[in-house]
């Protein structure tokens, strides 16, 4: 049999049975590919003339099988081929009609009992390790007061990818254990290994599953990268001519108001800017801050020059069903910090799907929801709710 060229193929899925491996090696030989060795990802074959070549796999914890055992198999017509993991592979041309290495399935069940025990131990260890890793990943998430809002904003995309990887590992390990246990149980019942088992269907299923996991992980990684790269901070508010954000000038409607300069920087951008961000669940996010000053006009308490200010957060969600629970978290986010001296005001406005208003002497807080859009506005100044709501309607 002439063998010259090496061919590598992606090896079977991690939890393939002994019978599926034997069947795969046999089918490869019919195509002229004869097993050389098996790596962690690929199996390597020597190319030759197609022929029927039987393969049998022996399980053993030992690094090498005893020479006497190998010689006994060779005398029976089975040549040692290669070893991968705890599997030792023997081959024999079909025309030899070599007797089966195990004539009694129950005896073979005893020989692979160690495989089932090993897989059980590995499943327990890996499962505990994965659960511990998932708990460590999830701990910061559960410590966050507003998990949905953080997810919507795209704060935990990388954690999602890592969770999928760990889940994939634990699922593969559990399936491997279940397969080895089923294999041993069948042998113990006297059901021999099917040396021509169908390996194509489960292999296709595993490939589809792997591709699906890979696509999801790559997608979440790309979205996380896009969010980082697309986030733009401290854009001068003057550039927001066509940007849907709430503007302080439209609320105040006072031509004498001008942007307030920073005490530390001779630049109005420090106090008057907006930020754009992006996430999978909220493709459009704007946060804006504006500070104005009206020379010649004082606060009512004579504490200084009238200087209204505004902060807004605007979210356009991808799915409408997220709007209501996200708004609840948005309200709760500022509940304890900013509402202590505020009283709630009830104004019915059919334009909005939901509207929450709070006020004290000079501060007004507005939470509004319409369709997929959410908005939060904190306004310091002496304007009533009506001009603020009109400006919000312009935006959403």
DSSP letters, 312-325, are EEEEE-S-GGGHHH
Residue 141 banded pLDDT, cuts 50, 70, 90: low
1 is a domain residue: no
Pair 240, 364 in one domain: yes
Highest mean pLDDT among 142-146, 220-224, 280-284: 280-284
pLDDT at site 385: 93
Pair 118, 214 in one domain: yes
pLDDT at site 157: 61
Q: What is the β-pairing status of strands 33-38 and 42-47?
A: antiparallel
Pair 171, 147 in one domain: yes
| Tokens 């904003």, residue located | 153
**Nearest-angstrom CA–CA distance, 83 and 63:** 9
**Would the pLDDT of 233 be above 50?**
yes
User: To the nearest whole number, what is the mean pLDDT of the chain?
Assistant: 83
Pair 238, 328 in one domain: yes
**Which residues is 104 bridged to in the sheet?**
none
Lowest-confidence region among 48-52, 151-155, 238-242, 389-393: 151-155
Pair 96, 163 in one domain: no
**Would the pLDDT of 124 be above 60?**
yes
Percent of the residues in the chain that have a pLDDT greater than 90, as a whole number = 36
Residues in the chain, total:
396
**Which residues is 284 bridged to in the sheet?**
316
Question: Count of domains in the chain?
Answer: 3
Pair 139, 208 in one domain: yes
| Of the residues 196, 230, 264, the one at which a domain ends | 230
Give residue-wise pLDDT tens across range 311-366.
999 999 999 999 999 999 888 887 655 566 788 889 989 999 999 999 987 889 99
Residue 109 banded pLDDT, cuts 50, 70, 90: confident
Taking each helix axis from N to C terminus, what angle separates 157-188 and 200-230, rounded to the nearest 10 degrees? 170
Query: What's the pTM?
Result: 0.60
14-38 mean pLDDT: 89
Of 3, 90, 122, nearest in space to 51 by CA: 3
Instruction: Report the sign of the C-alpha dihedral through residues 145, 147, 149, 153, in that order.
Output: positive
106 is a domain residue: no
Pair 39, 77 in one domain: yes
**Nearest-angstrom CA–CA distance, 282 and 315:** 6
Q: Which domain holds residue 373?
A: 232-395
Of 363, 316, 313, 355, nearest in space to 338 by CA: 363
Pair 240, 206 in one domain: no
**Would the pLDDT of 30 be above 90?**
yes
Pair 138, 91 in one domain: no
30-35 mean pLDDT: 94
Lowest-confidence region among 120-134, 283-297, 364-378: 120-134
Pair 164, 218 in one domain: yes
Pair 236, 332 in one domain: yes
Give residue-wise pLDDT tens across range 37-88.
998 889 999 999 999 999 999 888 777 788 888 889 999 999 999 998 888 9
**Would the pLDDT of 142 be above 80?**
no
pLDDT at site 203: 82
159 is a domain residue: yes
C-alpha atoms less than 13 angstroms from C-alpha of 253 in its C-beta half-sphere: 9
Q: Which two tokens stand for residue 142?
A: 């559960």
**Nearest-angstrom CA–CA distance, 376 and 367:** 5
371-385 mean pLDDT: 94
Pair 208, 276 in one domain: no
| Tokens 């807004």, residue located | 312
Give residue-wise pLDDT tens across range 302-320.
889 999 999 999 999 999 9
């Amino acid at each position: 049999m002439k063998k010259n060229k090496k061919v590598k193929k992606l090896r079977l899925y991690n939890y393939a049975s002994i019978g599926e491996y034997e069947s795969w090696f046999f089918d490869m030989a019919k195509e002229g590919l004869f097993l050389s060795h098996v790596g962690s990802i690929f199996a390597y074959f020597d190319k030759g003339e197609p022929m029927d070549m039987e393969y049998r796999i022996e399980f053993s914890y030992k690094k090498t099988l005893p020479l006497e055992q190998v010689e006994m198999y060779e005398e029976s017509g089975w040549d040692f081929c290669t070893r991968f993991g705890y599997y030792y592979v023997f081959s024999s041309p079909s025309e030899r009609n070599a007797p089966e290495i195990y004539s009694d399935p129950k005896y073979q069940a005893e020989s692979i009992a160690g495989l089932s025990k090993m897989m059980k131990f590995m499943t327990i260890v890996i499962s505990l390790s994965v659960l511990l890793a998932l708990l460590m990943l999830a701990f910061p998430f559960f410590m966050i007061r507003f998990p949905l809002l953080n997810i919507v904003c795209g704060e935990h995309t990388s954690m999602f990818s890592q969770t999928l990887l760990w889940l994939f590992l634990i699922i593969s390990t559990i399936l491997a254990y279940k397969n080895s246990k089923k294999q041993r149980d069948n042998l113990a019942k006297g059901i021999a290994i099917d040396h021509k088992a169908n390996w194509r269907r489960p292999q296709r299923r595993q490939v589809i599953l792997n591709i699906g996991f890979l696509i999801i992980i790559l997608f979440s990684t790309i979205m996380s990268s896009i969010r980082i790269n697309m986030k733009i901070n401290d854009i001068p508010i003057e550039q927001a001519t066509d940007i849907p954000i709430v503007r302080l000038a439209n609320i105040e409607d006072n031509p004498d108001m001008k942007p307030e300069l920073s005490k530390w920087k001779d630049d109005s951008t420090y106090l008057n800017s907006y930020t754009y961000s992006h996430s999978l669940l909220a493709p459009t996010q704007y946060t804006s801050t504006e500070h104005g000053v009206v020379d010649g006009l004082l606060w009512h308490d004579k504490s200084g020059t009238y200087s209204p200010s505004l902060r807004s957060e605007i979210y356009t969600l991808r799915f409408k069903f997220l709007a209501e629970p996200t708004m609840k978290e948005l309200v709760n986010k500022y509940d304890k910090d900013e509402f202590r001296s505020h009283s709630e005001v009830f104004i019915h406005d059919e334009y909005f799907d939901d509207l929450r208003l709070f006020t004290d002497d000079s501060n007004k807080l507005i939470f509004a929801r319409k369709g997929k859009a959410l908005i939060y506005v904190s306004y310091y100044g002496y304007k009533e709710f009506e001009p603020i709501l009109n400006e919000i309607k312009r935006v959403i």
